[in-house]
Amino acid sequence: MRVPVAVLLLVVLSCLLHGADAAVRWPKKPLLFPAIFSFGDSYADTGNYIILERDRPFNYSPYGETFGRPTGRASDGLLVIDYVAKGVGLPFVPPYLAKGQNFSEGANFAVIGARALDQAYFLEQNVTSPAPMMNSSLGVQLRWFEELKPSLCNNATKGGGCRDYLSGSLFVLGEFGGNDYLAFLAQGRGANHTSLRPRRY
């Protein structure tokens, strides 16, 4: 058991010692993936939340200090998804809600505070906090991906087809579920009051 913990600590320390490189494009190396598509919550959001909710702390210092400006990340520097992009030779994954972005090398659908379950479930349970109560659930993020897919496939047909492009891309599913439980706990409703069970389909 000590070996995996030691390996994990070594990886974390090497990331911390390496520092946050603010360059968007890394040195050229053969691409392992044509694109990265990321889903999740604050651990992966590269700017969608501050587009939805402009006047939030993530839009101000100290967030983004190592970038020289706030970037919408819930961090003062790079997130794991940024290191993944760096590792595979791609630029930072742009937030899907940002206007005028080129998504041919990927898109980030993650939103700070995102939940696994849709907003309707929480409203049915009379859970309306913690605020802001926006619908950026996994289902919403998957719908955003479906909205983007036609434009991705139109561009991909020039180079080998949509199926090859998407099957060769890296899909990163970040953390989901913690915010679902926090919503109940914020109202003083623990496991004794409510249990989250998936609906049957």
The answer to whether residue 126 sits within a structural domain is yes
Give the chain's domain count: 1
In a domain, 79, yes or no: yes
In a domain, 23, yes or no: yes
What is the per-residue pLDDT across 104-116, written as a single tens digit (0 to 9) for each? 999 999 999 899 8
Please report whether residue 200 resides in a domain.
Answer: no
What whole-number percentage of the chain has pLDDT above 70?
A: 74
What pLDDT is stored for residue 1 in this prediction?
A: 45
- φ and ψ at residue 147, rounded to 5 degrees: -65, -35
Q: Is residue 196 part of a domain?
A: no
Higher pLDDT, 142 or 117: 142
Arithmetic mean of pLDDT, 64-75: 86
Check if the beta carbon of residue 81 is closer than 8 Å to that of residue 39. Answer: no
pLDDT range class, residue 193, cuts 50, 70, 90:
low
On the question of pLDDT at 182 being above 90, the answer is no
Assigned domain for 140 exists: yes
Q: What span, in angstroms and rounded, lies between the C-alpha atoms of 151 and 26? A: 26
Indicate whether 145 pLDDT > 90: yes
Range of the domain at 7: 2-186
Residue 67 domain-assigned?
yes
**Cα–Cα distances in Å, from 9 out to 5, 14, 17?**
6, 8, 12
pLDDT at 201: 52
DSSP string, 15-53: HHHH-----SSPPP---S-S-EEEE-STTT-SSHHHHH-
Domain-located, residue 156? yes
